[in-house]
Structure 1
Amino acid sequence: MMAEASGLTSDTPAHTVDAFHRGRFWLVQPRTGHRAGMDAMMLAAAVSSGFSGRLADFGAGAGAAGLAVLSRCPEAQVVLVERSTEMAGFATTTLAHPGNAHLGNRASVLTADVTLSGRARTQAGLADNSFDFVIMNPPFNAAQDRATPDPLRRQAHVMDDGLFESWIRSAAAVAKPRGGLAVIARPEQLGDLLYALSGRFGDAEMLAVHPRPEAAAIRIVVRAALGARGKLSIRPPLMLHGQTGDGPSERTEMINNGLASLFGD
């Protein structure tokens, strides 16, 4: 259900209104179910600070990652692509928030299933060779993982078989030659992700995200270019917290608030 216009600037029992990038943009999102957070900010930060062009946010939810790109990149234009009509409604409401008036003319919402292929994908509004960059945060839980009773959370979090293949196939179709791609995923999904990239995207850079220096990675972010042939490179990791785990690291704070890019460009 889309938030009512009268509730755009305040919380209701159904939704919350949350500031991101220190109030440079606002998100209207469901109070329960899938909610945006650090993953979306890291994904947006994988886009170069100087990016100017048209970007598709696959699985956009309420629009956090796409709007975070707009907040950092004043010459960017973003299409928020979301399969769920309910979440697409939240994205539309997000764009109507008065705190996002300075971004609204650079963003739009497209309700479409990114797993479609060929003519069906084109007819859904995802034309070939139409984007300079694609970002995506695909569902990351395997179907056999503990299921959530919330349908929106399940749709956002539970991965279908072959999901990386279908999402990245679509990204390769809609991206322009040498167009960029950024994906955030769990470390155990790296093999499937690299397999789906093979033959499509190259010059890949990977960065691991750790909760603290001695802990195993909890996320990976991969960035690549369509049609490039360079090999995978591993970048220095992001530590969300210091050794003690008390409070976010300085770099985490900068990325979370749109003040730095994940890959340093």
Structure 2
Amino acid sequence: MTEEFSCDDFLGGRVRAFQPRRGYRAGVDPVLLAASIDARPGQSILELGCGVGVASLCLANRVPGVSVTGVEMQPVYAALAMLNAKENNAAFHVVEADLRKLPHELRQRRFDHVMMNPPYFDRTAGTKSKDTGRDVALGGDTPLADWLDIGIRRLGPRAYLSLIQRTERLPEVLAALDGRLGSIVVKPIAGREERAPELFLLRARQEGRAAFQMAPTLVMHEGATHQGDKESYTPLVTRILRSGAELPVTS
């Protein structure tokens, strides 16, 4: 690897991933998404927009025996995801493709879980980043409704769709799911106690019949304010980020 890339530890070093030093870099969010997937050995998972593969690799590490497929349209990120799959000896297959133009073999498959970390910002309402990788990851030109539609179409019977997204886009997500998926659970994510949630995790089910549920907020940091350079994650978040613990969405 050249100096353009770094090799970063996730789950306390249980997962290592090469990623660009500049541009979009995976951080905490894909780890939280992976931790929220209630998968079992033998199940199949599809990640749309997998980037360098951090979410998929964290899930594969936590639940041995799952089969994970990732779709990534940017060649550099797709190549890094393939490399990271080998480096971590993970059951993680990477497909380089635009999610709007999935290969025929993927369009014929259905999965037990579909997960995604779609771009957080509406491209039509923001300024394009000079870095292509960062721009596609944070904005891109695929509407959020298209991400959700494509994900829903890949779900098998009683399968789950999960995503992480910014709070202001929750109405947009719920509108796209209306009448198509049920048993929707939303888990807000706040930086600290008494702060408004900036993100949310959402899980919905094919053929789900349970009522909508707003789960308790996941608080990331202890204390009301940032105190120096020391790490301040709450005990649950520490277990998720450092030990690969599961994140129950409903509690």
Runs of 4+ in 1 over 4 A off after TM superposition: none
Aligned to 2:126: 145
CA distance in 2, matches of 1:122, 1:108: 14
- Contact kept? 2:12, 2:241, Cα under 8 Å: no
Alignment of 1:104-253 (within 5 A): 106-116=91-101, 121-123=102-104, 125-143=105-123, 144-160=125-141, 163-245=143-225, 246=227, 247-253=232-238
- Contact kept? 1:129, 1:177, Cα under 8 Å: no
Aligned to 2:245: 259
How many residues align? The count is: 244
Letter in 2 for 1:188: E
Of residues 43, 65, 70, the one that matches 1:75 is 65
CA distance in 2, matches of 1:142, 1:173: 22
Aligned to 2:50: 60
Letter in 2 for 1:174: R
Letter in 2 for 1:74: P
Q: Deviations over 1:112-159 (max 9, x none)?
A: 21124xxxx352x42244211000000111223243211100011115
Pair 35,26 (structure 1): closer, same or farther in 2 beyond 3 Å:
same
CA distance in 2, matches of 1:51, 1:197: 27
- Contact kept? 1:49, 1:72, Cα under 8 Å: no
Q: Deviations over 1:94-118 (max 9, x none)?
A: 1222xx12x2xx11111121124xx
Q: How far is 1:49 from its partner?
A: 5.6
Q: How far is 1:171 from its partner?
A: 1.3
Pair 224,110 (structure 1): closer, same or farther in 2 beyond 3 Å:
same
Stretch of structure 1 that moved more, 248-257 or 126-135? 126-135
Letter in 1 for 2:240: I
Pair 197,51 (structure 1): closer, same or farther in 2 beyond 3 Å:
farther
Percent of pairs identical after alignment? 28
Alignment of 1:17-28 (within 5 A): 17-28=7-18
SS of the residue 1:259 aligns to: coil
Q: Deviations over 1:68-99 (max 9, x none)?
A: 110111121101110111110111111222xx
**Structure 2 spans left out of the alignment, 5+ residues:** none
CA distance in 2, matches of 1:51, 1:232: 28
Aligned to 1:3: none
CA distance in 2, matches of 1:264, 1:202: 15
Q: How far is 1:51 from its partner?
A: 5.5
CA distance in 1, matches of 2:205, 2:172: 18
- Contact kept? 1:201, 1:227, Cα under 8 Å: yes
**Structure 1 spans left out of the alignment, 5+ residues:** 1-6
SS of the residue 1:96 aligns to: helix
Letter in 1 for 2:136: Q
TM-score, structure 2 normalization: 0.91
Q: How far is 1:264 from its partner?
A: 6.3
